[in-house]
Structure 1
Amino acid sequence: MQNTNNIDLSSLQRRDFASDFRWGCSTSSYQIEGAVDQDERGESIWDRFCATPGHIRDGSSGAMACDHYRRWPQDLDLARNLGTNAYRFSIAWPRIFANGRGRAANQKGLDFYSRLVDGMLERGLEPWVTLYHWDLPQALQDQGGWANRDTVDAFVDYTDVVSRHLGDRIKHWITHNEPWCTAFHGHYEGVHAPGLKDFKTALQVCHNVLVSHGLAIPVIRRNVPAARVGAALSLHPLKPASDSAQDAAATLRHDGLRNRWFLDPLHGRGYPADIWQRVGDNAPQVQPGDLEVIATATDFLGVNYYFPEIVADAPGQGVLATRVVEAENVERTAFGWEVSPEGMVTLLSRVARDYQPAEIYLTENGSTYDDVVGADGQIEDHQRRRYLMRHLAALKEIVALGIPVKGYFAWSLLDNFEWAEGYIRRFGLTHVDFATQQRRLKASGQWYRDFLRGETA
């Protein structure tokens, strides 16, 4: 693609995109809601994980977060005033079933999300719901969590209740957010809840999550006849660390677990044979019919894009014998992630070419920087603003290439609880003072607003 450092970003216009293009922001329940002990909500794995010292960098939790559970009208006003026409949020499973399952759902939890969805519609925001954004009920984890096949059935039952209750008002449904993170951050690296470190368990979790995705789709469609259903994957463009054949082979192996392990079975190809052979006895238990279930047709593919990865051969290092290396002399966010709008073009070009999804939505894209509130109360986050502008310039090129991207959701509307990083990392277009819960639109949010209102030129 054309280098976005060398083009006139001020020429970006909303009218460069189709009139029905979805423009939104994404959030997730545990990261913003707070109120973890209110209205009969049950304990989640993140409540338990945060309560264990050493898991969260600043020792915090999502117990209060953005207090969105009480302040949601104000937050939806922020989304509306940005000029967005869609809003992606997630349901807290423990608010619906405190113990993960049961004969009767928690009506108070259902009523909260009913009010929230009504609030979106009143503000002209199309609801995009994610059923699972990592906050598994702790009661299910105590029984084995996602490694236990019974959790698949519990997820389908939960999906049935939520889709029956909200399906008259929600058309777009995302089953899972980033199953790679659920499986590997949570069960192999141990940096996310539930904090396990076992490769075989991680692969079984991945499989069970994908099966639950496939089984949930017909349930949603039965309850919501006009439903559009998909999953949101965290995907990365990859390149080898050198021109050597060894690094090229390592990159293929890394791609096999990072990207193809999800894309292939979701698109009817089963698990990648090269990686299945390599994981050996760690391979998950697959029941007859599972692969057909995972390949249940979807209406769109959600892609969360943040950064590329560079891969080197690393004999003896892990099952894949690979390692990710850092590029030198590249721009990075405060998280250390490489800033690469070009990588987004590369990634979505590859996805469209190799898997041909009917529609693609960028369900997350964003950046974290060390924001400073000025004496005048303004947050001049020029780096985040430029990050956003450059990625929308890349998005314009992606659409021009004929890749069927139909929407963009910025991560995130609000600064929030950033998982293992606590409140150290700020991704929001809106600054949140967590002591006072005051919201202030940052310079990046002001630019996004002006872009969406057609006022950037």
Structure 2
Amino acid sequence: MLRNVTLLLLAIAHISCQVTKNVRQDVRKFPDGFLFGSATASYQIEGAWDEDGKTASIWDELTHNDPCAIRDCSNGDIADDSYHLYKRDVEIMRELGLDFYRFSISWPRLLPSSFPDNINQAAVDYYNNIINEMLKYNIQPMVTLYHWDLPQKLQDLGGWANPNIVDWFGDYARVAFQMFGDRVQYWMTINEPYQICYEGYGDDYKAPRVNIKGIADYMCAKNLLLAHSKAYHIYDQEFRPSQGGSIFIVYSATWHEPATDSENDIQAAEEANQFTWGVYVHPIFGSGDYPPIVKERIARKSAQQGFSRSRLLELSPEEVEYIRGTSDLFALNHYTTRLTYRNESVPGSFEIPSFEDDMEVIRYFLDEWQIGESTMVKSVPWGFYKLLTKIREDYNNPTIIITENGMSTSAGLVDEDRVINYKRYLNALLDAIEDGSDIRAYTAWSMLDNFEWRFGYTERFGLYEVDYESPERTRTPRKSAFLYKEILRTRTLDMNYEPDTDVMVIDVGH
């Protein structure tokens, strides 16, 4: 108990001086050529879950067979009905003045059998319609190949724990490049490896809820890195010469800050960063292999637990070379920060392996980071700055695009907390740019309210509110939409700008 109180007092003292570097400027300009966009994902907005030949995904399987695993017992069967309302979505992009829009293709919609023997023409038409409608107004499509809605048929074969998924994903990617690559210049292979592997395979928090801790998550990690690399090499060798686009993986990264200035907690925070996101970044932007501390820790614990080899599947020298360098950009999703200290109170769990035990840290939030009612995102902009700085310093200042950032609120149009959060995080981003980080684009998550996975529709991330009681799924701009539109119009961040909520009417910007 005494340790916990001491930690809290030290943490508060430590954090009280952590602010974004540049608070003196009220109006700050973004670099010339800086791009702004917003994002969604197929399962979260499309609906039409079984229309026009689409087959079931792992999220269809979860929400239909165990509906109240979702907080409000909801699903994505209709969601925002963007499958039918895509023209309204493009109109919203024009209203905001977006340079680009990030969306994902549904694998089981495009390939109903999961394989390229049956390319669904209705799906090709749908995605062509979106892309062509955007390009009419000079809005660039950024396309994610995999944003969590794996075909259930492939999960029945083991999903990301089956090494054959490397070829399955490569075949799917090739079809997407063939169908849409003449107009798509930005391809994202896989969204958020950590969430896919840890939360879906090592735990039961997300579909497919395999929940084989400390084993399935590491099987997933290796296969996912190889599958991404397969898609990268296919594009690089077969399509880039004629299409000329970019291809990259999308990381999610929480910043882990030491709870105290002790060497033990500083090391614990570094290890938390390496275990949660470094394990996917280092193989591509670093040596081509996993971070040394991750390899050493899991190998040692695996031996102590009686395993004949490390639970973290080894990457061969050939695989290391195959993976290294397979991302044209560093695409980053970031939402929040956690304090971290060494877990000394729980002895090594030699009989029961798990990712948490391998990491050997405790992670937590401070109450004062809470703004509004969000249970998902705590507002810690200085953590964003520190994360961007670490990426610059550790990985030779790669070109970064922010592919997701935002926060959730409850329903309602006057979303003051989201407005505050966007200002804070964009201010921190400008601090990082000023210090030399090569950041080229920013993507607000999300353009629309959507099905927020295990939270259902209880947490709203949208710049536009969606009325789920309306058959038309009416979309209405929030206060944050007007803030974002002004930032895009002026290419500046004015920390004192307040949209007039009495006259919130958005004109088409393109």
Q: Name the TM-score class by shorter chain.
A: over 0.9
Counterpart residue number, 1:124:
138
Q: Displacement, 1:239?
A: 1.4
Counterpart residue number, 2:416:
382
Q: Displacement, 1:357?
A: 4.7
**Structure-to-structure mapping, 1:89-238, within 5 angstroms:** 89-198=103-212, 199-221=214-236, 222-225=238-241, 226-238=244-256
Q: Please state whether the residue corresponding to 2:251 is helix, strand or coil.
A: strand
Conserved? CA contact 1:9–1:393, under 8 Å:
no
The correspondence for 1:351, drawn from 391, 400, 409, is: 391
What amino acid does structure 2 have at the position aligned with 1:223? F
The correspondence for 1:451, drawn from 476, 482, 487, is: 487
What amino acid does structure 1 have at the position aligned with 2:264? Q
Moved more, 111-120 or 423-432: 111-120
Counterpart residue number, 2:6:
none
The correspondence for 1:364, drawn from 404, 408, 417, is: 404
What amino acid does structure 1 have at the position aligned with 2:378? E
Q: Displacement, 1:110?
A: 1.4
The correspondence for 2:442, drawn from 408, 426, 448, is: 408
State how far apart, in whole Å, the 2-side matches of 1:244 and 1:353 are. Answer: 22
State how far apart, in whole Å, the 2-side matches of 1:274 and 1:394 are. Answer: 29
Counterpart residue number, 2:334:
305
Conserved? CA contact 2:22–2:427, under 8 Å:
no
Counterpart residue number, 1:275:
294
The correspondence for 1:329, drawn from 351, 355, 368, is: 368
Q: Tell me, which stretches of 5 or more residues in structure 1 are unaligned?
A: 373-378
Which structure's CA Rg is the greater one?
Answer: 2
Counterpart residue number, 2:82:
68
Q: Displacement, 1:102?
A: 3.6
Moved more, 96-105 or 285-294: 285-294
Q: Please state whether the residue corresponding to 1:407 is helix, strand or coil.
A: strand
Q: Please state whether the residue corresponding to 2:368 is helix, strand or coil.
A: coil
Q: Displacement, 1:277?
A: 2.1
The correspondence for 1:87, drawn from 83, 94, 101, is: 101
Conserved? CA contact 2:254–2:337, under 8 Å:
yes
Query: Percent identity among equivalent residues?
Result: 33
State how far apart, in whole Å, the 2-side matches of 1:394 and 1:402 are. Answer: 13
Using structure 1 for the length normalisation, give the TM-score: 0.94
The correspondence for 2:429, drawn from 390, 395, 419, is: 395
Counterpart residue number, 2:264:
246
State how far apart, in whole Å, the 2-side matches of 1:412 and 1:203 are. Answer: 30
Q: Displacement, 1:25?
A: 0.1
Conserved? CA contact 2:337–2:365, under 8 Å:
no
State how far apart, in whole Å, the 2-side matches of 1:182 and 1:115 are. Answer: 29
State how far apart, in whole Å, the 1-side matches of 2:404 and 2:58 are. Answer: 23
State how far apart, in whole Å, the 2-side matches of 1:2 and 1:451 are. Answer: 25
**C-alpha distance after superposition, 1:276-311 (max 9, x if no partner):** 122223112545522222214422110111001111
What amino acid does structure 2 have at the position aligned with 1:36? W
Give the direction of change, closer, same or farther, for the CA distance of 1:31–1:8 in structure 2 (3 Å limit): farther
Conserved? CA contact 2:201–2:210, under 8 Å:
yes
Q: Displacement, 1:5?
A: 11
State how far apart, in whole Å, the 1-side matches of 2:366 and 2:439 are. Answer: 28
Conserved? CA contact 1:9–1:389, under 8 Å:
no
Conserved? CA contact 2:160–2:220, under 8 Å:
yes
Matched residue count: 448
Give the direction of change, closer, same or farther, for the CA distance of 1:96–1:288 in structure 2 (3 Å limit): farther
Moved more, 252-261 or 120-129: 252-261
Q: Displacement, 1:453?
A: 1.5
Q: Displacement, 1:142?
A: 0.3
**C-alpha distance after superposition, 1:364-397 (max 9, x if no partner):** 000011233xxxxxx1111111111121222222
Q: Displacement, 1:10?
A: 5.7
Counterpart residue number, 1:376:
none
Q: Displacement, 1:219?
A: 1.4
State how far apart, in whole Å, the 1-side matches of 2:404 and 2:376 are. Answer: 18
Counterpart residue number, 1:375:
none
Conserved? CA contact 1:300–1:357, under 8 Å:
no
- Aligned CA RMSD, in angstroms, stands at 2.0
Conserved? CA contact 1:171–1:224, under 8 Å:
no
Q: Displacement, 1:172?
A: 0.7
State how far apart, in whole Å, the 1-side matches of 2:35 and 2:338 are. Answer: 28
State how far apart, in whole Å, the 2-side matches of 1:44 and 1:287 are. Answer: 32
Give the direction of change, closer, same or farther, for the CA distance of 1:336–1:218 in structure 2 (3 Å limit): closer
**C-alpha distance after superposition, 1:426-446 (max 9, x if no partner):** 000000011111111000001
What amino acid does structure 1 have at the position aligned with 2:438? P
What amino acid does structure 1 have at the position aligned with 2:45? I
Counterpart residue number, 2:59:
46
State how far apart, in whole Å, the 1-side matches of 2:111 and 2:336 are. Answer: 35
Counterpart residue number, 2:40:
27
What amino acid does structure 2 have at the position aligned with 1:11? V
State how far apart, in whole Å, the 2-side matches of 1:44 and 1:339 are. Answer: 33
State how far apart, in whole Å, the 2-side matches of 1:241 and 1:370 are. Answer: 30
**C-alpha distance after superposition, 1:233-291 (max 9, x if no partner):** 00122112223333233223222211211111012411112211222231125455222
Q: Please state whether the residue corresponding to 1:202 is helix, strand or coil.
A: helix
Give the direction of change, closer, same or farther, for the CA distance of 1:297–1:194 in structure 2 (3 Å limit): closer
Using structure 2 for the length normalisation, give the TM-score: 0.84
**C-alpha distance after superposition, 1:59-91 (max 9, x if no partner):** 111111100000011011101110111111111
Moved more, 133-142 or 380-389: 380-389
